[in-house]
Structure 1
Amino acid sequence: MLRRGDFLMIQNRLNEGAFLKDIAAELGVSTKTVSRAVKRNSAPTGKPGRPKVSKLDPFVEQINELLARNVWNAQVILRELQSRGYSGSVSLLREYIAPKRALRPSRATVRFETPPGKQMQSDWAELRTMIAGVDTKVFFCVNELGHSRAMHIWAALSFDAHHTFEAMVRAFEYFGGIPAQVLVDNQKAAVIEHPREGEIRFNNRFLDMADFYGFKPKACKPARPQTKGKVERMVSYLKGHFFVRYQQFESLAHLNQQLEQWLRTEAEPRVHGTTREVVQEMFKRELPYLQALPNTRFDTAYIETRRVGWDGYIDVNGNRYSVPSNLAGQSVRVYIGLEGTLRVANMQDQWVASHTLRHKSSGWVVDSSHHKPLWEKTMGKVQARPLSVYEEML
């Protein structure tokens, strides 16, 4: 039976040029019902009676909130409602959502398919979630193979160049191979300048990584994110599925563990809405087309130069770390890893020290072997005195 709100929706859709059968499908009624309402120019008027109570009524506010967040998948909404006590069917939920789909924002674009092993699309997004009980802004990088739609997701607290490189390296390792091309947005982490005419200037470290892994870097056209629409849609899929189901995490590491588990148990076994094939089955066919991983890993650490003090220490992030004393007064390269490691190399690229980063409140970080020659040299110049000298002074 049509309600007054349904009749208003019919009028709006007719003004937009919609067909009666399409309107009927959206409302979940017959075409004749819509036709009669149009001829009557009003919703049907029945005898007033006791209003029918639906199992869905207590959850309407939650449903509308999810729709406002652009979550339209009925199964995802169903899981969320069931966790709050909903015992009704998914068909009842679909009937409620159907007439509202006309309000769903959309943008038409031409779909471009890529052959297996050809391309990986990469993009960053952000949202707030609870980590260790704290409301935290989290950045997550989605790397998706253009052919099979297999993807890898990595969450971090920053989306600078080094975290971008780390996310891509982890994706290569997760897939077990490297695509021929990596398509990125015009983020400064990868693209320094992208003029509408002329050559693109990529970040030098990004070019180093491309050479290391043997892929060709490619950037989207400026102001046209549809160029990498596949991964844009996967960012929406992630927000509308994973972060609806999982909303609290013990740590950033726990978040990444949950992401990989969700990829293997839900995202990869699903039938993709565009290809109409199971993602993990398509990936099995795409894998042989990926290039083999090299024997070593690209170093995504921050690389900086420091001058060693005359006491054999260097300053890093507000604390001091020991290096071999023979480097006192010389310059060294420091590699600050994203996982809290500190490695030091001399200017001939030979490793000379390794530490774990610590807050300055914990004190200087010392490797006793670094300064042993310095102490031996110093002790050799100290005059030894017998105890009798001090006894004479008493």
Structure 2
Amino acid sequence: MHDKGMSVSQIAREVGRDRKTIRKWLGESEPAMYKRHTYKPKKIDPYREYVLRRMSEGCVNATVIFDEISEMGYDGGITQLRVFMKPHRQAAEEKATTRFETLPGEQAQVDWGSFTVNWHGHKKRIYAFVMVLGYSRMMYLEFTENEKLETLMGCHVRAAAYFNGVTATCLYDNMKTVVASQDDRGKPIWNERFAAFATHHGFKLRRCKPYRARTKGKVENGVKYVRRNFWPRVRTFTGLDDLNRQARHWLDTVANVRVHGTTHQRPIDRYPEEQLLPMNTVPFESAERHLRKVPSDALVTYETNRYSVPYQLVGYMVEIQDERNGVILFFHAGKLVAEHTKCPGRHVINKKHFEGILTGGKQKVPQPIPRLIENPAPEVMRRPLSVYDRLLKEEVVR
């Protein structure tokens, strides 16, 4: 090719080799002789089978495997182990993340999704809490105003009520409301309050690896399913409470009764096999509550709106708990006394809160009756201006 006038670059493209290789060959007087490569035994050889088996089980951490084979007698370096593991790592990771299955009742996965809505003429972001049971693929969905810690804990309580129990563990990504930070060894340092909440209700916290959110692929796919299947069905809604009613209907009639693409069974059919743990019936003080004194009209103010409570509580203190999902709860002495749908810019009144109001004679307070006023303003005598001019002149003369 070179003798016929082809350049080094043209020859390299034609034969599929680097230009440096072509120049090297052109500088030789004759082709190099074939040399048989002899394999040199490596210290890792006796442990190849064990390493491959551990990788097939989902362990792709070279440091962990190095410690294990060192105890078995391996006296080589960790670099040799990493070189051996490298070509097998991708297949092992894919198997560990996409084919990982859990036993009934063993694990649930949690994640957030964000959605944009037209909120009274303005764009507003709302959030979707999604929990998926790892074995059955049963799903819980709830829309909220934010992703704060109190909201997260409230969603867990309502999800447990929907599932009628909790799994032994719950898997999260590195959301700050769950994972505060990590130590020098990379182990998570849990949010103290959320860890206490989990302990109170009997489940353990698990974290997927940093930058490896696909290890919680079940719930990741769940969020995508909500976005592609439920969200296009929503045309209008009156508030988060109404949106969550639509979401619950979708869960019960679509999401949890369709044939799942991985299990090839309906989640509702696999659900009876879940061995869920009972949730602690003693409430964990998870929500931020706001104290208010009940005024004489029994309408309590919260965020510029007014909500009714039973008239018997006039003069007493009540606690307001905003669930951030379109529902507001009112407590007195630890007991729920009122529940309202959050409606901005309105007075929200439950007529039952005013039933039985009695007068001093134990008679029901009558409805106010409008009083007719025949002459709402006094009559004014009209006089010509000349009369006032004459009176003014008389006053000046005096």
TM-score (norm 1): 0.52
For residue 299 of structure 1, the aligned residue among 268, 285, 298 is: 285
The one-letter amino acid paired with 1:300 is S
The one-letter amino acid paired with 1:243 is W
Relative to structure 1, the CA distance from residue 221 to residue 341 in structure 2 (aligned partners, 3 Å threshold; closer, same or farther) is same
CA distance in 1, matches of 2:204, 2:160: 14
| 1:14-57 Cα deviation digits (max 9, x unpaired) | xxxxxxxxxxxxxxxxxxxxxxxxxxxxxxxxxxxxxxxxxxxx
SS of the equivalent of 1:141 reads: strand
CA distance in 1, matches of 2:106, 2:257: 22
SS of the equivalent of 2:98 reads: coil
The one-letter amino acid paired with 1:147 is Y
CA contact (8 A) 1:120 1:145 kept: yes
Relative to structure 1, the CA distance from residue 317 to residue 134 in structure 2 (aligned partners, 3 Å threshold; closer, same or farther) is closer
Q: CA deviation at 1:292?
A: 1.4
CA distance in 1, matches of 2:339, 2:159: 27
Q: Where does structure 2 lack aligned partners over 5 or more consecutive residues?
A: 1-92, 293-300, 306-312, 348-398
CA distance in 1, matches of 2:271, 2:212: 27
Q: CA deviation at 1:298?
A: 2.9
Q: CA deviation at 1:358?
A: 11
Q: What number of residue pairs does the alignment pair up?
A: 240
Q: CA deviation at 1:112?
A: 0.7
CA distance in 2, matches of 1:304, 1:227: 39
SS of the equivalent of 1:248 reads: coil
Q: Where does structure 1 lack aligned partners over 5 or more consecutive residues?
A: 1-106, 307-314, 326-331, 363-394
Aligned to 1:146: 134
CA distance in 2, matches of 1:317, 1:244: 31
For residue 174 of structure 1, the aligned residue among 143, 147, 162 is: 162
The one-letter amino acid paired with 1:294 is N
Aligned to 1:123: 111
Q: CA deviation at 1:340?
A: 3.4
Aligned to 1:267: 255
CA contact (8 A) 2:110 2:130 kept: yes
Relative to structure 1, the CA distance from residue 255 to residue 316 in structure 2 (aligned partners, 3 Å threshold; closer, same or farther) is closer
Q: CA deviation at 1:303?
A: 5.7
| 1:361-385 Cα deviation digits (max 9, x unpaired) | 99xxxxxxxxxxxxxxxxxxxxxxx
The one-letter amino acid paired with 1:202 is W
Matched, 1:239 2:227: yes
Alignment of 1:322-341 (within 5 A): 336-338=321-323, 339-341=327-329
CA contact (8 A) 1:144 1:231 kept: yes
| 1:198-221 Cα deviation digits (max 9, x unpaired) | 442111221121111110011121
CA contact (8 A) 1:143 1:152 kept: yes
Identity %: 32
Relative to structure 1, the CA distance from residue 344 to residue 250 in structure 2 (aligned partners, 3 Å threshold; closer, same or farther) is closer
CA distance in 1, matches of 2:192, 2:171: 16
Relative to structure 1, the CA distance from residue 316 to residue 204 in structure 2 (aligned partners, 3 Å threshold; closer, same or farther) is farther
Q: CA deviation at 1:318?
A: 9.0
Matched, 1:290 2:276: yes
Q: CA deviation at 1:317?
A: 7.0
CA distance in 1, matches of 2:302, 2:232: 40
Aligned to 2:243: 255
CA distance in 2, matches of 1:212, 1:138: 29
SS of the equivalent of 1:182 reads: strand
CA distance in 2, matches of 1:197, 1:256: 41
Relative to structure 1, the CA distance from residue 335 to residue 201 in structure 2 (aligned partners, 3 Å threshold; closer, same or farther) is farther
The one-letter amino acid paired with 1:237 is Y
CA contact (8 A) 2:239 2:343 kept: no
Q: CA RMSD in A?
A: 3.9
SS of the equivalent of 2:259 reads: coil
Aligned to 2:214: 226
SS of the equivalent of 2:141 reads: strand
| 1:162-195 Cα deviation digits (max 9, x unpaired) | 1111111111110001100011121111110134
CA contact (8 A) 1:130 1:249 kept: no
Q: CA deviation at 1:235?
A: 0.4
SS of the equivalent of 1:249 reads: coil
Aligned to 1:165: 153
Matched, 1:276 2:264: yes
CA contact (8 A) 1:165 1:206 kept: yes
TM-score (norm 2): 0.51
